[in-house]
């Protein structure tokens, strides 16, 4: 039977056994022995050592006798003591398998976690864990116990408690939660009444909270206590604070400066930018009124985007507005959702997480796993349950932001480097809370914003919906340049200096500031006059590069070395990281960090985290490091990251991979890139996963061709193929390359081709119309199932058979395969299907089964399967599956004559593709949009849309299903009375489809040509032959619907001739085979004809 024991050793002793108080352990000795055993549980303790520990002044024999008696008393006091204590003649041990809740362990664990979080620069988690420690420390350890070990333990725990209180104060002050900071500061004062720094903190905190009277009272309390207890007066520093209070001068928060005095305020006042500043303030007012939006500051590197955004950030922060900031970094070491997590971990948003229901916290824990340590009873997330519902994660993250219940400004610097998943979430957030009091402010380097950049599409969508403000920053004027330069120099510059400076920098603020600083620091070598005739080229002009180099040369050799270590990190870092890599003492490193701050090389990005003042300065610093030195520093940096994030390596795996690669540790880099890719893949960050897997592949090519390397390459290659399919579809050229390499690797390893590779190659061939090859690969898949009896393989092989035979026009055979696939499908294995094969087979099989039923004349059954497919596809929240289902369902709707459902499918698909760029299906849906334009509006622009996308498919050689779209293309011309042009379209494009093996719409091609020829007055005999040929094909294929259409064409053609009776009778015979769908357009048309 499980026993639960809860023991409180801090403060008043208490023991609960299975939830009930147990008072039998009531003497100092008993409690002391119990406490010692508990703290050493799981360790066999020698009886002799325990006897000496408790009776050091007795003889060994007497001590052992005393110990046996005390142990006997403890056994009597504990019911069924053998459940807890393992004893023999030599040792005593408290069993480790007993369920135990010990307050000392909880306290020390919280302190340990807080220290780890502090080393990582995570101020929120540091504060949370220290608060937890404070809550557990209900008093001193075993008060009234004076054994040497008790006294030592008590003092150690007291020191940890004092540290916890001090850090809790600092963390709350950083979050501007002055009330909570004061509460913990008062506890610290009670804990150490003569600690003068505590009174200084209270004076400052009361002043910041607007209570000057209590701030003055804190000084008087300090003065009284120090005089009474120590017979001393307050220090000069405390007295200076007191004098400031008397003069009613504000006391600055320590949260504004880091441990090295690094200021978070802008170092220079904003000059110029009056119009842009007003636009930025207008965007904020717009958001505060309940119209959430994104404002982007766009311009070249150094033009002042970050400075202008910082002005808004600081201005709002001073007003008490909830503001969070983060930045994105260039691709190396990037992690999906990193900026989002940084915001949520900020002191402003993190407390709001406590307001969320567990189901939403569980979703957020997918990207912030530390939450499961804070909230241990969270349910499983949707991903853990096997669902792939990304929208649940998106909604959870969005709820965390809006839970703040006050205006929020989120700042994202260098937005051009933000991962695709974070961008998609930002788009979702603005849809989720369009009336939220929320402004997202982003800075974008214009030169990085390529035409196909995901940001462009996102900005276009937001612009259409009125949620985007663009502010483009150009160069400063000569007058504005002069103001900035004078501010840096500390005096006015001459007209000649200003003229040459402006000519040199072309009004780029960063270059202005750096040029002036370089000139001021070393006029003998680099004066303002030396910047004459500068040729600006590239992203960093040569002479401005020289300016940065000159600034670095002004550093001491030790500070320069520290800046190079910082450059190697490639992103924000903590003092502790620098200390560990450099090997310097902390005080020495802090001194050098002060120098780097004073020289404006580094700045504090947020509490405890430091970064370069500009990314370009980091680049120049990194360039100065020799290759051997870089390798060494990257290796040391990876060691530090491994140590700092030992409990959550996945969070920095991509960063570690980059360090391993630069350190020349190729094997470790391959493993890390692979692991980082799998993390990204699990988060649906497929683009990032592809980048990481391809990095691994590139490094693998440099390793010797041993079997273990081939094994790893096959593993990476298979995962890369799945991601390529998920992101681009089976038609992407990369798919063939990756899967063919995987097949080659299987051969080199003397093993059969793996199932995911066979399946990938099968559908790749299918897209290009190579259907017989597809069926051969499906047969190999089926053989793999015979050997493995893996149900996933059975479902996938039947699916491939089903779609291939459908395109070949073997509808009955296709239906059998699809029905078998659906029957054996297990929803609990959906995650495996999606992970290994990039889509959910049931949703797709239902859609294709519906189309097969429609072709066989079971229209309503087909429509039922179609709706089930759409519902399942939408519920899965898997873009690749959903896109497939919507695109093909729209095509089936054309055969059903359900234009309303078709429009819904095309509309939903467009929204999906706008977000995920599903190019293969997008071309087909665009053709259907064009067809609807012509059919419903008579708009010739629809013809252009159809032609452009049809030719795009031909260019990419994606021929599958194009025969059906050629029919619609020709009929679009027929609908506007241009049948002759429709014939030309068919003549032009039919030849291009000859390489494809698809046959499912061959009869419709013949019938459509016949209809167009008839419209143009061509020979009835020739048209009749086309209809008859169509009938023959439909009978061979078992396509009752297509046969009905062809028979109707013949009956209309021969009406009023001697063939009328026969053609009418044959039409009636086919029509009689239908038992449902009589409200559908095809059957309605036949009914009307037969009724004439």
> Of 140, 157, 192, which residue constitutes the final position of a domain?
192
Q: What is the pLDDT of residues 492-544, one digit of tens each?
A: 878 887 888 887 777 888 888 777 776 654 443 333 333 332 222 234 556 66
Residue-wise pLDDT tens digits, 745-781: 998 999 888 888 898 889 888 888 899 999 999 999 9
Quick one: average pLDDT of 31-55? 87
Task: Determine contact, residues 364/354, Cβ cutoff 8 Å.
Answer: no
CA distance 830 to 386: 7
Rounded CA-CA distance 651/817 in Å is 43
Structural tokens at position 650: 């996945």
Q: Express each pLDDT in 1035-1076 by its tens digit.
A: 999 999 999 999 999 999 999 999 999 999 999 999 999 999
> For residue 420, is it within any domain?
yes
- 691's CB contacts (< 8 A; 6+ apart) are 331
Q: Is residue 735 domain-resident?
A: no
Give the pLDDT mean for 460-465: 90
Of 926, 699, 651, 5, nearest to 918 by C-alpha is: 926
Res. 250 pLDDT band, cuts 50 70 90:
low
Q: If pLDDT is split at 50, 70 and 90, which confidence band does 467 have?
A: very high
Task: Copy the structure tokens of residue 331.
Answer: 């691709």
In a domain, 412, yes or no: yes
For 96, other C-beta atoms within 10 Å of its C-beta total: 10
Structural tokens at position 604: 């504090």
In a domain, 114, yes or no: yes
What mean pLDDT do residues 1018-1042 have? 95
For the chain, give the number of residues: 1092
Q: Does 45 map to a domain? A: yes
Q: Looking at 59-102, list the stretches that DSSP marks H as alpha helix, in order from N- to C-terminal side.
A: 60-77
Q: Which of 173-182, 570-579, 793-802 bottoms out in mean pLDDT, i.e. has the lowest?
A: 173-182
Rounded CA separation 902/895 (Å)? 10
pLDDT at site 283? 94
b/e for 49-75, b at 16 or more Cβ within 10 A?
A: ebbbbbbeeeeeeebbeebeebbebbe
Round to whole Å and give the CA distance between 35 and 609: 40
Burial class (CB in 10 A: 0-12, 13-18, 19+), 791: middle
| pLDDT tens digits along 419-458 | 888 998 999 999 999 999 999 999 998 878 877 788 888 8
50 with 180, same domain? yes
Are both 182 and 296 inside the same structural domain? no
| pLDDT attached to residue 540 | 54
278, 161: one domain: no
| pLDDT recorded at residue 606 | 64
Between 348 and 268, the more confident residue is 348
Looking up residue 455, the CATH number of its domain turns out to be 3.40.50.300
| Domain match, 280 and 426 both | yes
Report how many domains make up the chain.
2
Name residues whose C-beta falls within 8 Å of residue 580's C-beta, 6 or more positions apart in sequence. 636, 639, 640, 643, 644
pLDDT tens digits along 306-365: 889 988 988 887 777 888 888 887 755 557 888 998 899 887 888 888 889 999 999 999
Q: Is the pTM of this model over 0.85?
A: no
Lowest-confidence pick of 263-272, 947-956, 971-980 = 263-272
DSSP track, 789-800 = --HHHHHHHHHH
pLDDT at position 260: 32
Q: How far is CA 740 from CA 537, 718, 777, in A?
A: 43, 10, 13
- What's the pLDDT band for 389 if we cut at 50, 70, 90? low
Q: Which position has the token pair 């009418």?
A: 1064
Check residue 252 and give its pLDDT: 64
pLDDT at 632: 93
Report CA 1078 to chain centroid distance, whole Å: 50
User: Residue 606, SS3?
Assistant: strand
Q: Are residues 450 and 305 in the same domain?
A: yes
DSSP alpha helix (H) spans, 645-706: 653-662, 666-682, 686-700
Mean pLDDT of 483-487: 81
**CA 1065, 1066, 1071, 1073: dihedral to nearest 10 degrees?**
120
pLDDT for 475 equals: 85
Question: What's 85's domain CATH number?
Answer: 1.10.10.10
Structure-model confidence comparison of residues 402 and 534, the more confident one: 402
* Residues 692-734 pLDDT 10s: 999 999 999 999 888 899 999 999 998 998 888 777 777 677 7
Q: Which domain holds residue 12?
A: 1-192
**How far is 627 from 272, CA to CA, in rounded Å?**
42
Same domain? 291 vs 184: no
Q: 287 and 173, same structural domain?
A: no
pLDDT value at position 451? 78
Tell me the residue ranges of DSSP E strands in 285-436: 293-299, 322-327, 408-413
Could you tell me which residue, 699 or 605, shows the higher pLDDT? 699
d(C-alpha 982, C-alpha 955), whole Å: 21
Alpha-carbon gap, residue 780 to 529, rounded angstroms = 76
Task: Say whether pLDDT at 490 is over 80.
Answer: no
Instruction: Tell me the three state secondary structure of residue 410.
Output: strand
Determine the average pLDDT of the residues in 600-618: 78
Give the pLDDT confidence of 532-586 residue by residue, as tens digits.
322 222 345 566 677 678 778 888 999 999 999 999 987 788 888 888 898 888 8
In the chain, what percentage of residues exceed pLDDT 90? Answer: 37
* Whether residue 305 sits in one domain with residue 174: no
- Cα 819–chain centre separation: 37
* Residue-level pLDDT at 974: 93
pLDDT digits over 86-95, tens only? 888 888 888 8
Please check whether residue 167 lies inside any domain of the structure.
Answer: yes
Spatial contact of 938 and 976, defined as CB atoms under 8 Å apart: yes
Lowest mean pLDDT among 158-162, 500-504, 830-834: 500-504
Q: Which residues contact 409 (CB under 8 A, 6 or more apart)?
A: 284, 287, 312, 313, 316, 321, 322, 323, 324, 438, 439, 440, 441
Q: Which residue has the higher pLDDT, 852 or 497?
A: 852
pLDDT for res 121: 62
Shared domain check, 421 and 285: yes
CA 1041 to chain centre: 48
**Same structural domain for residues 32 and 164?**
yes
First to last CA, the chain: 85
* The pLDDT of residue 334: 59
pLDDT digits (tens, 9 = 90+) for 349-369: 888 888 899 999 999 998 888
Domain limit, last residue, from 192, 218, 251 = 192
Residues 66 and 181 grouped into a single domain: yes
pLDDT digits (tens, 9 = 90+) for 868-885: 999 999 888 788 889 899
At residue 797, φ and ψ (nearest 5 deg) are: -65, -40
* High-pLDDT (> 70) share of the chain, %: 93
- Same domain, residue pair 283 and 414: yes
Closest CA to 851 of 909, 795, 896: 896
Angle, helix 962-975 to helix 919-932, in steps of 10 degrees: 20
Among 142, 164, 192, the domain-final residue is 192
Task: Choose between 286 and 52: higher pLDDT.
Answer: 286
At 347 the pLDDT is: 79
Q: What digits encode the pLDDT tens for the residues 549-558? A: 877 888 899 9
List, for residues 893-913, the tens digit of each pLDDT value: 999 999 999 999 999 988 888
Q: Quick one: DSSP state of residue 731?
A: T
């Amino acid at each position: 039977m499980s026993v639960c024991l809860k023991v409180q050793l801090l403060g008043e002793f208490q023991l609960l056994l299975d939830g009930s108080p147990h008072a039998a352990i009531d003497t100092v000795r008993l409690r002391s022995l119990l406490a010692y055993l508990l703290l050493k549980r799981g360790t066999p303790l020698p009886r002799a050592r325990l006897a000496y520990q408790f009776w050091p002044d007795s003889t060994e024999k007497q001590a052992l006798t005393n110990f046996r008696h005390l142990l006997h008393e403890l056994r009597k006091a504990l019911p069924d003591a053998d459940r807890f204590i393992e004893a023999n003649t030599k040792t005593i041990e408290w069993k480790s398998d007993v369920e135990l809740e010990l307050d000392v362990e909880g306290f020390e664990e919280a302190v340990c976690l807080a220290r780890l979080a502090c080393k990582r620069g995570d101020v929120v988690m540091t504060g949370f864990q220290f608060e937890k420690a404070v809550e557990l420390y209900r008093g001193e350890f075993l008060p009234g116990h004076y054994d040497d070990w008790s006294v030592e333990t008590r003092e150690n725990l007291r020191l940890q408690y004092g540290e916890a209180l001090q850090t809790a104060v600092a963390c709350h002050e950083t979050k501007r939660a002055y009330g909570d900071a004061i509460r913990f500061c008062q506890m610290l004062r009670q804990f150490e009444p003569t600690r003068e720094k505590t009174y200084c903190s209270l004076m400052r905190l009361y002043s910041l909270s607007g209570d000057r009277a209590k701030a003055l009272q804190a000084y008087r309390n300090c003065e009284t206590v120090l005089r009474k207890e120590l017979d001393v007066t307050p220090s000069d520093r405390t007295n200076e604070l007191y004098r400031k209070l008397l003069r009613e001068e504000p006391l600055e928060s320590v949260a504004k400066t880091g441990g090295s005095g690094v200021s978070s305020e802008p170092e220079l006042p904003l000059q110029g930018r009056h119009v842009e500043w007003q636009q930025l303030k207008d965007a904020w007012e717009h958001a505060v009124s309940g119209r959430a939006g994104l404002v982007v500051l766009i311009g070249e590197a150094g033009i002042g985007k970050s400075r202008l955004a910082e002005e808004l950030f600081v201005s709002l922060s001073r007003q008490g507005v909830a503001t969070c900031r983060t930045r994105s970094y260039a691709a190396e070491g990037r992690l999906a959702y990193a900026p989002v997590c940084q915001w949520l971990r900020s002191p402003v948003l993190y407390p709001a997480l406590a307001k969320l229901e567990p189901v939403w916290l569980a979703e957020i824990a997918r990207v912030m796993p530390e939450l499961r340590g804070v909230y241990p009873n969270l349910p499983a997330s949707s991903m853990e349950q096997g669902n792939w519902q990304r929208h649940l994660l998106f909604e959870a993250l969005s709820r965390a932001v809006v839970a703040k219940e006050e205006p929020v400004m989120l700042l994202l610097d260098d937005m051009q480097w933000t991962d695709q998943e974070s961008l998609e979430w930002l788009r979702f957030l603005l849809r989720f809370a369009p009336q939220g009091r929320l402004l997202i402010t982003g800075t974008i380097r214009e030169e990085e914003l390529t035409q196909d950049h995901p940001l462009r599409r996102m900005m276009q969508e937001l612009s259409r919906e009125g949620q985007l403000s663009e502010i483009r920053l150009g160069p400063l004027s000569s007058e504005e340049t002069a103001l900035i330069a004078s501010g840096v120099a500390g005096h006015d510059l001459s007209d000649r200096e200003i003229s040459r400076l402006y000519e040199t920098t072309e009004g780029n603020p960063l270059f202005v500031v750096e040029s002036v600083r370089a000139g001021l620091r070393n006029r003998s070598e680099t004066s303002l006059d030396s910047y004459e005739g500068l040729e600006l080229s590239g992203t960093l002009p040569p002479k401005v590069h020289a300016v940065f180099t000159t600034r670095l040369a002004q550093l001491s050799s030790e500070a320069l070395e520290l800046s190079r270590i910082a450059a190697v990190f490639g992103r924000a870092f903590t003092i502790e990281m620098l200390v560990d890599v450099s090997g310097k003492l902390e005080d020495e490193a802090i001194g050098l960090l002060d120098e780097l701050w004073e020289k404006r090389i580094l700045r504090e990005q947020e509490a405890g985290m430091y970064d370069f003042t500009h990314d370009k300065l980091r680049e120049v610093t990194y360039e100065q490091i020799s290759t051997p030195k870089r390798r060494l520093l990257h290796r040391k940096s990876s060691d530090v990251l491994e140590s700092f994030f030992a409990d959550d390596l996945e969070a920095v795996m991509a960063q570690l991979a980059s360090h391993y690669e630069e350190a020349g540790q190729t094997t470790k880099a391959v493993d890390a890139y692979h692991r980082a890719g799998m993390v990204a893949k699990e988060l649906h960050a497929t683009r990032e996963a592809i980048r990481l897997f391809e990095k691994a592949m590139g490094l693998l090519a440099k390793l010797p061709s041993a079997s273990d390397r081939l094994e790893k390459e096959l593993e990476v290659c298979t995962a890369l193929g799945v991601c390529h399919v998920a992101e681009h579809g089976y038609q992407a050229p990369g798919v063939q390359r990756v899967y063919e390499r995987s097949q080659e690797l299987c051969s080199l390893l003397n093993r059969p081709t793996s199932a995911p590779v066979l399946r990938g190659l099968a559908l790749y061939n299918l897209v290009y119309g190579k259907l017989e090859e597809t069926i051969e690969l499906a047969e190999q898949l089926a053989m793999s199932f015979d050997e493995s009896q893996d149900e996933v393989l059975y479902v996938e092989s039947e699916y491939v058979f089903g779609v291939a035979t459908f395109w070949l026009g073997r509808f009955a055979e296709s239906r059998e395969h699809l029905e078998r696939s659906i029957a054996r499908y297990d929803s609990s294995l959906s995650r495996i299907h999606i992970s290994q094969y990039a889509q959910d087979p049931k949703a797709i099989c239902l859609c294709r089964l519906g189309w097969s039923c429609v072709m066989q004349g079971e229209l309503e059954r087909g429509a039922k399967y179609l709706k089930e497919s759409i519902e399942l596809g939408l519920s899965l929240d898997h873009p690749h599956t959903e896109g497939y289902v919507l695109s093909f369902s729209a095509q089936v709707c054309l055969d059903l004559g359900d234009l309303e459902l078709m429009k819904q499918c095309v509309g939903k698909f467009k929204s999906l593709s706008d977000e995920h760029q599903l190019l293969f299906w997008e071309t087909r849906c665009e053709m259907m949009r064009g067809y609807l334009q012509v059919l419903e509006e008579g708009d010739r622009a629809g013809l252009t849309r159809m032609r452009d996308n049809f030719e795009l498919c031909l260019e990419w050689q994606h021929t599958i299903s194009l025969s059906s779209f050629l029919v619609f293309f020709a009929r679009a011309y027929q609908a506007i009375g241009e049948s002759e042009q429709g014939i030309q379209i068919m003549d032009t494009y039919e030849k291009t489809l000859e390489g494809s093996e698809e046959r499912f719409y061959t009869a419709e091609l013949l019938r459509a040509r016949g209809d167009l020829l008839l419209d143009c007055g061509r020979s009835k005999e020739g048209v009749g032959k086309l209809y008859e040929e169509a009938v023959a094909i439909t009978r061979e294929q078992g396509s009752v619907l297509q046969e009905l259409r062809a028979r109707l064409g013949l009956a209309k053609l021969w009406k009023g001739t001697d063939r009328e009776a026969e053609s009418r009778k044959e039409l009636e015979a086919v029509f009689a085979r239908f038992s449902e769908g009589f409200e559908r357009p095809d059957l309605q048309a036949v009914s009307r004809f037969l009724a004439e």
